[in-house]
Structure 1
Amino acid sequence: MTATVSHPPTSETDESPSSSSTRLALVPAGSAPALLDGAWWPRSRDLAVELPPLAAVLDPLWGRITRVTVNPTHWPVVPRKVPVGARVLKVGWFQQEQDPHELLLLSYRVGRWNLLVVPPQTPPDVAEWLMAAASDPGGTSSGSRLMEEAARAASPASAVPAGAVDRDAAR
């Protein structure tokens, strides 16, 4: 939770991960512990492709990332090992115990971090909001709660002015 890096979301969703920067927002250095340590917006649901660039950004900040865990709900394939340069990143999964919208990273040197995983198909404006909310040092929401809030904000019902439903029901 002491790292700072921010690569704002881009609207270029068709880029391959290797051809562009990692889309990542982290809580500011020195912040009090928060429920989430930031957010990551991968370009696909392919962990073998997406994890190496993420580890390359985080290793200098947090120490060498050695293990990652995910909830397999949103990942079609969870490889046991992912090559990252000359080393291997171990990947595990927890179906029941881990929030399906979070990624847990472990490092030998510093500890563990929880990142919100912004779905690859998320519109840029929603992704920007999610990344800002997840990297807020005062944040108290889980990954699933942030995803629910974003879905409610994006729903057509949220665009209905307050009281409009009540007026219609009274007719």
Structure 2
Amino acid sequence: MSDRLRLPPLLRLYLAPESTVPRRIDGAWWPRTFDLLTEVPPLLSGLPRAWGQIASVVVNDTVWTGAPGRMLVRNQVVRLRRTTTAHLPSTIVLTAPNHGRRDLLVVPPEATERAAESLMSAVGLEQGHFAS
């Protein structure tokens, strides 16, 4: 029997290059499930420090599981909120005090890599590649 160290799966995240031009989508995220409590901590831990400490996460209520409320991520309380707003069905909204809002396209967990890259291209994230 092997005592191999189990590493967590790589975060499947693509961020658009920093720019002075405002954009609607700041990147794309391909979670493995729609479970908030499982997926949000690794996402927030993998974001660039320049985005600040995320204080609020807003997701679509119709696809995500897990109770809204608060969770502790990297010793910081993060507020989880849900919405049914029509323009947010496939995005996650992250806000950080003094750093503003960032919107990520959420690629459905069951998508293939080809479908994920097609979705990124459709929102203008031309050179994306997800790490599996």
Which has more strand, going by share of residues? 2
What amino acid sits opposite 2:41 in the alignment? P
Give every structure 1 segment of 4 or more consecutive aligned residues whose post-TM-superposition deviation is greater than 4 Å.
none
Please say if 1:79 is aligned against 2:52: no
Aligned residues: 121
From 101, 108, 114, give the equivalent of 1:119. 108
Please say if 1:47 is aligned against 2:46: no
- The match for 1:33 is 22
**Offset at 1:70?**
1.0
Contact 1:39 1:134 survives alignment (8 Å): no
Q: Distance in 2 between matches of 1:88 and 1:49?
A: 16
Q: 1:78 to 1:129 in 2, by over 3 A?
A: farther
1:87-109 CA-to-partner distances (Å, cap 9, x unmatched) read: 22111112136511111100013
Instruction: Could you tell me which runs of 5 or more consecutive residues in structure 2 were left unpaired when the two chains were aligned.
Output: 1-5, 127-132
Instruction: Could you tell me which runs of 5 or more consecutive residues in structure 1 were left unpaired when the two chains were aligned.
Output: 1-15, 138-171
**Offset at 1:129?**
2.2
1:2-54 CA-to-partner distances (Å, cap 9, x unmatched) read: xxxxxxxxxxxxxx9x7122111111112511111111100111111111111
Q: Distance in 2 between matches of 1:92 and 1:135?
A: 27
Using structure 2 for the length normalisation, give the TM-score. Answer: 0.80
From 49, 69, 75, give the equivalent of 1:60. 49
Single out whichever of 107-116 and 74-83 deviates more from structure 2: 74-83
Amino-acid identity (%): 37
Q: 1:125 to 1:97 in 2, by over 3 A?
A: closer
Find the residue that maps to 1:65 and give its secondary structure: coil
Q: 1:135 to 1:42 in 2, by over 3 A?
A: farther
What amino acid sits opposite 1:63 in the alignment? G
Contact 1:66 1:107 survives alignment (8 Å): yes
Cα RMSD after superposing both structures:
2.2
